[in-house]
Structure 1
Amino acid sequence: MEYRQIRPEDAREYVEMMRSLDLETDMMMLEPGERKNDPEAAAAMIRESLAAGDFFLIAREGETMAGVLTAERGRYRRIRHAAYVVVGIRAGYRGRGIGTEMFKRLDAWAVSQEITRLELTVRKENKAAVHLYEKSGFVIEGLRKNSMRVGGVYADEYYMAKFIPQNEGA
């Protein structure tokens, strides 16, 4: 498995992977058909994200983009130390350690960027993801009741965070 920062030229493949994720699972935010299918817009979003200093990692196996992990850091000084995380791994690649490896790389980036707080939301029913996040050091901070409506039914989300110690002696 190859792990690297996304590039604007990956936009078409990124859009396709995200559309595929939307079809494979109902655990992502967007439903099938809601996501824009515009590689040019995706390339612009990628350029903006990288220029802002965000973390935008992809996992590839051969010609296939298997997963993505992004961390958007706070844009204002008071929240610049925090980043909001989104992760998605294609169904055929889950359970192979890809998420674990991406979170290890996220931790290294967070230390290098003086990020001390990582946060994310996850559907309460998504036991595999909750396990991955807890294994990666995240803790549940709260429950967001009825935060989503999936298939006509309300779903709860956990709000989770991880605190990244900084090397004060450096």
Structure 2
Amino acid sequence: MIHYRLLNSQDALSLLNLQKTLDIESAYMLYLPHERTADLNQVQLVIEQIITSGLLVGAWNEKQELIGYLAAERGTKEKIKHSAYLVIGIKQEYTNLGIGTQLFKLLDQWTQQTMIHRLELTVITENIPAKALYDKAGFKVEGIREDAIFMNDRYYDEYYMAKIINRS
């Protein structure tokens, strides 16, 4: 049984361990395994920074292990406070179980509480499963960032995607 809750600074070790696992499991995460900081104090500061005005929610398995997360960092300047940039990661063995969909439902609830109007993310064009999740969550491609990522001795394009939250 998967349960979801907001993360806090006491979850720094769990988040760091998950991120390190994701860096190894997925070529689509931004960090290479050797680039991830191992400084728990730094991870705690990042968590505190995100939760001050953004959202950081985790998915936990029955063993109380963090298996997925979604971070939404709200714009800090007045002109972009209505928007948030997203990062999501789910351990490989837990993909295709509806966890991403549930994390996006929690994100939608947060946008209603915070009056966020625009959500943004990027995804490597070849990451078909992630693109499908974002499409399902209502995101639209706004453009292509050509040669945005260099890995495996070649360049990869990224989709720049956004979702506008309309309120009646």
TM-score bracket, normalised by the shorter chain, equals over 0.9
Instruction: Give the equivalent residue in structure 2 for 1:107.
Output: 108
Q: Which residue of 2 aligns with 1:127?
A: 128
Partners of 2:56 and 2:12 lie apart in 1 by 12
Task: For 2:8 and 2:33, locate their aligned partners in 1 and report how far apart those are by CA, in whole Å.
Answer: 25
Q: Secondary structure at the match of 1:33?
A: helix
Q: Percent identity?
A: 39
1:154 aligned partner: 155
Tell me if structure 1 keeps the 8 A contact 2:122–2:159.
yes
Task: List structure 1 segments (4+ residues) > 6 angstroms apart after TM superposition.
Answer: none
The superposition leaves residues 14-58 of structure 1 with CA deviations (integer Å, 9 ceiling, x where unpaired) of 10110000000100111111010111211121112222x111011
Normalised TM-score (structure 1)? 0.95
CA–CA separation in structure 2 for the residues paired with 1:55 and 1:136: 17
TM-score, length-scaled by structure 2: 0.96
Q: Does 1:24 align with 2:25?
A: yes
Gapped runs of 5+ residues in structure 2? none
Deviations 1:95-124 (A, max 9, x none): 000000000110110111010100000000
* In 2: Cα distance, 1:66 partner to 1:37 partner: 18
Alpha-carbon separation, structure 2, partners of 1:117 and 1:163? 5
Q: How many aligned residue pairs are there?
A: 166
Give the corresponding residue for 2:14.
13
Letter in 1 for 2:98: G
Q: Which aligned pairs between 1:1-170 and structure 2 lie closer than 5 A?
A: 1-51=2-52, 53-61=53-61, 62-167=63-168
Q: Which moved more, 1:12-21 or 1:41-50?
A: 41-50
Q: Which amino acid aligns with 2:160?
A: Y
Over the aligned positions, Cα root-mean-square deviation in angstroms equals 0.8
Structure 1 gaps, min length 5? none
SS of the aligned residue for 2:133 comes to: helix
